[in-house]
Structure 1
Amino acid sequence: MKPTVLLTNDDGVSSAGLWAAYTALSDIADVAVVAPSTQQSAVGRSISIFEPIRVHKVNINGSPAYAVDGKPTDAVIIGLYALKLKPDLVVSGINIGENLSFESIMTSGTVGAALEAANQGTPAVAFSLQVSDQGRKFDDPRSALLEDESIGHIVTDVCSRILDQGFPQECNVLNVNIPSEIRGGYEVTRLAHKLFHTGVEERFDPRGRPYYWIDGPFVEDAEEGTDVHAVRQGRISLTPVTLDCTAPAAFDQVQKQFPYITR
């Protein structure tokens, strides 16, 4: 029997990236698609707890899928607990746009879905594709076609190795970022600090009242060994990520500032 994969994303159930991953995975696994019904980029690990979640069976490109009226994390939870899927692996993506650095993975719905799967006990891989034209991130995701077949081969290769050899120990999520122009092989990386030079642009509506766009250009590069640097060099970044956000290196200083007092 083939292993089973739950496939989700944050660009929505109709995204070309999702279905490129579906095609890549279908040769090696039985794939169930459970994804948000609409675009949900940058929602991180937010969960719908103040409204009901509706699920619709749909058919896209001749294949069945479940469209979830909610966030990527909702889709994972619905797949695991409402649809009672028992996947060997959860795959999130292929996201249109890279998810690199502390900054990006904390807000990414693609990585958020993978973290939620890991939190629920299923290992997960997040795939993201760098795009040279950032406008494509904001286009209809159905139009952002992935013409390069090598991208699908990377998804197949990474997931085949995990399914055959097991998920890396001491790791909850493997964050994979594929450069828009592949000029090298895999590189195991750490997270860079930032992906963007954050800025805010002020504009004015017709009544003269201000409103704001959060924007800012990409960082040009980052130090060697980071995910940002690897992708900028054309290599495929593999970053092991853990759910444990504890900072053990800070224990001594915090204990000195807040000594234990018995009462």
Structure 2
Amino acid sequence: MRPKILLTNDDGVNSGGLWAAYEAMSAFADVTVVAPAVQQSAVGRSISIFEPLRMNEVRIGDRAAYSVEGRPTDALLLGLYGLNLKPDLVVSGINLGENISYESITTSGTVGAAMEAANQGVPALAYSLQMSDQGSKFTDPRCSTQDFSQAKEVVARLTQMFLASGLPKNCHLVNINIPACRMEGYEVTTLGTRLFDTYVEMRIDPRGKPYYWINGDVIYTPEPHSDVTALRNNRVSVTPLTLDNTAFAACGDLKKLLADQGF
């Protein structure tokens, strides 16, 4: 029997990246698309717990999908429990824009959906594609003219590998980032520490009232084996992640601090 894959994303059900992943995987798996109705980037792993959710069966071209009026994690949960899908694997992506470093990993809706899948006991992969033009991340994903041929090759190869072998021990999900330029190979990586130099810009609207843009300049911190460095060197970054955020290296110092203070 063919493996079953639940495919979601954070760019929305109409995104070219989502359907590139579908095309790459449907050759060897039964793929069900359950994705947000509209753009939901940077919402992380947030869940809609104060409002009802609607899910509609739609057709994108000649292909069926489920469109969820909610966040990526909502779509994932409705796929698992609203549709009672029992996938062998969850795939999130292909996201338009890389998701690398400490900064992106916690805000990314693409990675957030994969994290929630792992939390529900389903192995998951998150795929993101670097954009050579940073502005391309913020265009309507339905209008993307991105060439996905290289990304589809990566998705097909790695997804089949993980379906056959499973995820490594002590790994809950894998975050995969694909370079915009011709790739120079694959590399197992760790998370980089910084990606942006963040700032807030205040502007004045036509009525004289202030409004604000949160923005940031892309920076590069040289770190061997990091996902940031791998992508900079045109290598596919393959980063094993865990849901356990415990800072084990700090436990000893924290115990000593508490003991010294009489706790």
Q: Does TM, scored on the shorter chain, surpass 0.5? A: yes
Letter in 2 for 1:91: V
1:88 corresponds to which residue?
A: 88
Contact 2:2/2:30, CA 8 A, preserved across alignment? yes
Structure 1 residue 182: deviation in Å? 2.5
Structure 1 residue 221: deviation in Å? 4.5
Does the residue aligned with 1:78 lie in a helix, a strand or coil?
A: helix
**Take 2:237 and 2:221, find their aligned partners in 1: how far apart are those partners?**
14
Contact 1:17/1:145, CA 8 A, preserved across alignment? no
Contact 1:17/1:96, CA 8 A, preserved across alignment? yes
2:258 corresponds to which residue?
A: 258
Structure 1 residue 146: deviation in Å? 3.4
2:20 corresponds to which residue?
A: 20
Contact 2:194/2:221, CA 8 A, preserved across alignment? no
Render the CA deviation track for 1:218-261: whole Å, top value 9, x for unaligned: 11343121000000110000000000000111111211222399
Render the CA deviation track for 1:160-204: whole Å, top value 9, x for unaligned: 001111222111110000010033111000000111111111111
Letter in 2 for 1:216: G
1:68 corresponds to which residue?
A: 68
| Closer/same/farther in 2, CA of residues 148 and 12 from structure 1, 3 Å limit | closer
**Take 1:182 and 1:253, find their aligned partners in 2: how far apart are those partners?**
45
| Between 21-30 and 144-153, the greater mean CA deviation after superposition | 144-153
How many residue pairs get matched?
263
Letter in 1 for 2:78: I
1:183 corresponds to which residue?
A: 183
Contact 1:177/1:236, CA 8 A, preserved across alignment? yes
**Take 2:112 and 2:136, find their aligned partners in 1: how far apart are those partners?**
21
Q: Which runs of 5+ in 2 are unaligned?
A: none
2:102 corresponds to which residue?
A: 102
**Take 2:260 and 2:71, find their aligned partners in 1: how far apart are those partners?**
41
Letter in 1 for 2:17: G
Contact 2:17/2:148, CA 8 A, preserved across alignment? no
2:153 corresponds to which residue?
A: 153
Q: Percent same amino acid among aligned pairs?
A: 57
Q: TM-score with structure 2 length normalisation?
A: 0.96
Contact 2:175/2:238, CA 8 A, preserved across alignment? yes
Structure 1 residue 212: deviation in Å? 1.1
**Take 1:74 and 1:55, find their aligned partners in 2: how far apart are those partners?**
10
Q: TM-score with structure 1 length normalisation?
A: 0.96
**Take 1:168 and 1:35, find their aligned partners in 2: how far apart are those partners?**
27
Structure 1 residue 152: deviation in Å? 0.3
Structure 1 residue 145: deviation in Å? 3.3
Q: Is 1:209 paired with 2:209? A: yes
| Closer/same/farther in 2, CA of residues 92 and 247 from structure 1, 3 Å limit | same
2:166 corresponds to which residue?
A: 166
Render the CA deviation track for 1:39-92: whole Å, top value 9, x for unaligned: 000000000000000000001121110000100000110011110000000000
Letter in 2 for 1:149: S
Letter in 1 for 2:102: F
2:199 corresponds to which residue?
A: 199
Render the CA deviation track for 1:125-151: whole Å, top value 9, x for unaligned: 000000011221111101113324121
1:245 corresponds to which residue?
A: 245
Does the residue aligned with 1:216 lie in a helix, a strand or coil?
A: strand
1:34 corresponds to which residue?
A: 34
Structure 1 residue 11: deviation in Å? 0.2
Q: Is 1:135 paired with 2:125? A: no
**Take 1:207 and 1:14, find their aligned partners in 2: how far apart are those partners?**
36
Displacement over 6 Å in runs of 4+: 260-263
Q: Which runs of 5+ in 1 are unaligned?
A: none
2:125 corresponds to which residue?
A: 125
Contact 1:92/1:111, CA 8 A, preserved across alignment? yes
